[in-house]
Amino acid sequence: MSKPIKKYIPKNSDPLIEKFICCMMHDGKKSISRGIFWDAMDVIKTRTKDEPLDIFNKALLNVTPLVEVRPKRVGGSVYQVPTEVPIKRQQALSIRWIINAARDRKGIPMSQKLAMELLDASVEQGNAIKKKQDVLRMAQANKAFAHLAK
């Protein structure tokens, strides 16, 4: 007899959580992605006294960018123009940065990598926060070209 398959029933059908799970998914294997997410929440629960979903929301909020640079062609030159980021793109970028930062960690299972990255992001550390700061630094460096924005 084989082992019974663990069923991951969404404990909380929050659209943000479902979006995160879908973005983490590889090759259409949503159940594996969902399992990784909820295992990461269990790891967070064992490491902190706080509610795991609060840590998740705080991490996403901390990683959310407010400005980014977009290339704009003016008279044969391409300028990096700082622009405000729309809300949907803010969410997409923060999710992408957290997932990529977690995937870049090596040597441990994905659920633990994700838990560690969420914990780091919730206290303003880690690679996802570094990515946000790099984007902000680029925007500040190119502030002189802000008048070229549409």
**pLDDT mean over 67-81:** 91
Residue 123 CA to residue 119 CA, distance in Å, equals 7
pLDDT at 34 over 90: yes
Residue 25 CA to residue 72 CA, distance in Å, equals 33
Return the closest-CA partner of residue 101 out of 90, 84, 115. 115
What is residue 6's predicted lDDT score, i.e. its pLDDT? 54
Using CB atoms within 10 Å of the CB of residue 126, give its burial: 0 to 12 exposed, 13 to 18 middle, 19+ buried.
buried
Helices and strands, counts by H and E, the chain: 6, 2
**pLDDT mean over 37-60:** 93
Read off φ and ψ for residue 71, nearest 5 degrees.
-75, 140
- Beta-ladder partners of 77: 74
pLDDT at 32 over 90: yes
Q: Provide the CA 100 distance to its chain's centre, in angstroms.
A: 8
What is residue 10's predicted lDDT score, i.e. its pLDDT? 55
47 neighbors 36 (Cβ within 8 angstroms):
no
The whole-chain average pLDDT of the chain stands at 90
What is residue 147's predicted lDDT score, i.e. its pLDDT? 85
What domains can be seen in the chain, in order of their start residue? 15-65+85-140 (1.10.455.10)
pTM, entire model: 0.87
H or E element: which one contains 73?
A: strand 67-74
Residue 57 CA to residue 31 CA, distance in Å, equals 22
pLDDT at 71 over 70: yes
Query: Could you tell me the two tokens for 64?
Result: 């959310």
Instruction: Give the model's confidence band at 148: pLDDT under 50 very low, under 70 low, under 90 confident, else very high.
Output: confident
**pLDDT mean over 66-79:** 92
